[in-house]
Amino acid sequence: MSSNIITSLCKPPIYTKTKVEFWNDEYISKQMLKAHLDPEFDGASRKLDFIEKSVAWIKDIVPPSNYPLLLDVGCGPGIYAEKFTQMGYHVTGIDFSKRSINYARQSALNKDLNISYFYQNYLEMDLKKSFDFATMIYCDYGALSTNDRQVIMRKIYHHLKPGGKLLLDVFSITKFCDFKEQQTWEVCHKDGFWRADEYAELNGFYKYSDNVTLKLISIISKNEITPYYLWDTYFSKESLVQEAESIGFKICGVFSDVAGSIYQAESDTIAILFDK
Ligand SMILES: C[S@@+](CC[C@H](N)C(=O)[O-])C[C@H]1O[C@@H](n2cnc3c(N)ncnc32)[C@H](O)[C@@H]1O
């Protein structure tokens, strides 16, 4: 047992993937959905007042009258997708969380909103349809490995019409510099984020070269030791532009966030609008 604990706590090679599909775990996915839907919590989706500001700004810079067909990549439970639809876009959302997509479909039905949702890994996306505008919001791009970032950029490029636009945000180098390496632990007796029953959570926060960090969460319960790997890659304006340009995108605008704040290098996030 103790040697297994030590193995699970070791720093893995960069971009090692978690062995289990935790986003589709019956219990964990419920906690994730709760986090998405909490309007006051910046965990899985941003806080509601930010999202409202963000959607209003997006509608002004990429208006639905000129860019009606919108693809929301990693749409979660459809918080953005619904607001985009109410602003006049025809929205398609894709996400590999079954619970989020089920929730999004039911919510659209309840609100009488016509949104197409796909339960699918966006790295394998093949929708046989072209879009005017794609969004990938809340720094999900940086959670991917270098290779998977190329895959999703190519997929999005392929799904856009000529002249179509892509808006995405990433964490900045400033945030990478502020990241503190540390190890922490806590015990949850009941109904924690990762398990319903009692468990210990051992966290390692590690920096890697190439502006990459790992939050390594090891869950130790009565019967198991399970490590989860949450990766983030951080970008400068130049490094993000370079990745997008290598696929064929052209830069259209740079901002500090997806609500249109003026670009400042010291901001925690960078949002860039590209066109094809
Ligand atoms: C940080 S959340 C952001 C959700 C949404 N964009 C928002 O801002 O409310 C990232 C989302 O991407 C989804 N996701 C991550 N990797 C994915 C993949 N390979 N295929 C499809 N969805 C993925 C997750 O399930 C999650 O819903």
Q: Residue 144, SS3?
A: coil
pTM of the model: 0.96
187 inside domain: no
228 inside domain: no
- pLDDT digits 0-9 by tens, 203-262: 999 999 879 999 999 999 998 999 999 999 999 999 999 999 999 999 999 999 999 999
198 inside domain: no
Give the closest residue (by CA) to ligand 1 atom 13: 74
Whether ligand 1 lies within 6 angstroms of the CB of 97 is answered as yes
How far is the CA of 151 from the CAs of 101, 161, 185, 232, in angstroms? 22, 18, 35, 17
The CATH number for 251's domain is: 3.40.50.150
Whether ligand 1 lies within 6 angstroms of the CB of 228 is answered as no
- pLDDT digits 0-9 by tens, 28-63: 999 999 999 999 988 889 999 999 999 999 999 999
94: exposed, middle or buried (C-beta count within 10 Å: 0-12, 13-18, 19+)?
buried
CB–CB of 136/166 below 8 Å? Answer: yes
* CA 2 to ligand 1 centroid distance, Å: 34
Whether ligand 1 lies within 6 angstroms of the CB of 249 is answered as no
In ligand 1, which atom is closest to the CA atom of 121? Answer: 20
Q: Read off the amino acid at residue 47.
A: K
Q: Considering its fold, how many domains does the chain have in total?
A: 1
- pLDDT digits 0-9 by tens, 146-177: 999 999 999 999 999 999 999 999 999 999 99
182 inside domain: no
Give the closest residue (by CA) to ligand 1 atom 11: 74
* Structural domain range at position 169: 27-173+234-275
**Sign of the C-alpha dihedral computed for residues 58, 63, 64 and 70 taken in this order:** negative
